[in-house]
Amino acid sequence: MVAYQYYPGCSLHASARDYDESVRGVLGHLAIKLEEVPDWNCCGATITPSLNQLQSQILPARNLALAAENRGDLVVPCNACYMSLKKVQHNMVKYKEIREGVIDIFSQAGLSLTGMPEVRHLLEMIMEDVGLAKVKEMVTKPLKDLKIVSYSGCQLVRPLGFDDPEDPQALDQLMEALGAKVLPFSQKSHCCGSSLMTTQPELAFKMVDSILEEAKKVGAEMVVVTCPMCQLNLDAYQGQINNKFNRTGQLPIIYFTQLMGLAMGLSKSQLGIQRGIVSSNKALEKIV
């Protein structure tokens, strides 16, 4: 059994339990073992860097230090966590003052940094280690005729991401492997507004609206995401956005792991599909 270290991030223990359930469900089905990093903490996401640069490195760095005590790559399902962990890793290697600052603060807290694990997004791991061939092999219920757009979001692909930042391909390929019909989508890596949804909702509404409207226009039945932040922003505010911009219709926002699970024959409840705010029942009617 292949083993990875797993950093779920705060969302997957709270608002994105459905993501966590589907990740564990699918990887279990694929015989991949996940070991949750013990005593992990919040990565600080995009909020802490605006307050204090050095201190914002400490939160992700501590997670890296904890993970370094065990073997295996660190698999991260959330785009924001992925980016903060990758970024601090990059900064520690590249900038002496950050490296020394982190080591200094660590020593005050009795921590030490013995090494750094490879940080990988869950999608990256599935694409590279599992591979499309294996995924296709595992598919028992192809997502036939399900018209989707894949929305990778911005932090998966930049600045240190693994896919084409302007026109990401991995999620499209994975969805095609599941048998879904992937529609052309210009908003694949546009920002969903992230935490602006709480600080400047007007601006975030506009950003989400642009993504959802384009998805509706190309004829998508659902939007596939790789990040709990994107999922929440796109899913939770559709009523308000429709009122504000005079739009009609709602689109279910689903995690890629949920669709993987369905295609591999797992049940909806195993994958937390009932937890979405906009119901996906209708869109999924034809496949389950």
Q: Which of 133, 30, 9 is nearest to 75 (CA)?
A: 9
User: Which CB sits closer to another protein, 29 or 158?
Assistant: 158
Give min distance, CB of 176 to another protein, in A.
Answer: 19
User: Which CB sits closer to another protein, 30 or 191?
Assistant: 191
Give min distance, CB of 158 to another protein, in A.
Answer: 10
**Which residues make beta-bridge pairs with 2?**
32
Q: What's the rounded Cα separation, in Å, for the pair 144 and 67?
A: 40
Give min distance, CB of 187 to another protein, in A.
Answer: 7
Helix/strand/coil for 224: strand
**Block residue for tokens 């080591």:** 103
Question: What is the contact surface with another protein in residues (CB under 8 A)?
Answer: 164-167, 186-187, 190, 214, 217
- Which two tokens mark 27? 């990887």
User: Which CB sits closer to another protein, 35 or 164?
Assistant: 164
User: Which CB sits closer to another protein, 28 or 201?
Assistant: 201
User: Which CB sits closer to another protein, 184 or 249?
Assistant: 184
Give the count of beta carbons closer than 10 Å to the beta carbon of residue 123.
Answer: 26
Give min distance, CB of 186 to another protein, in A.
Answer: 4
**Which residues make beta-bridge pairs with 224?**
150, 254
Q: Which of 216, 221, 132 is nearest to 176 (CA)?
A: 132
Give min distance, CB of 206 to another protein, in A.
Answer: 10
C-alpha distance from residue 23 to each of 32, 112, 129, 140, 224 (Å): 10, 31, 15, 18, 14
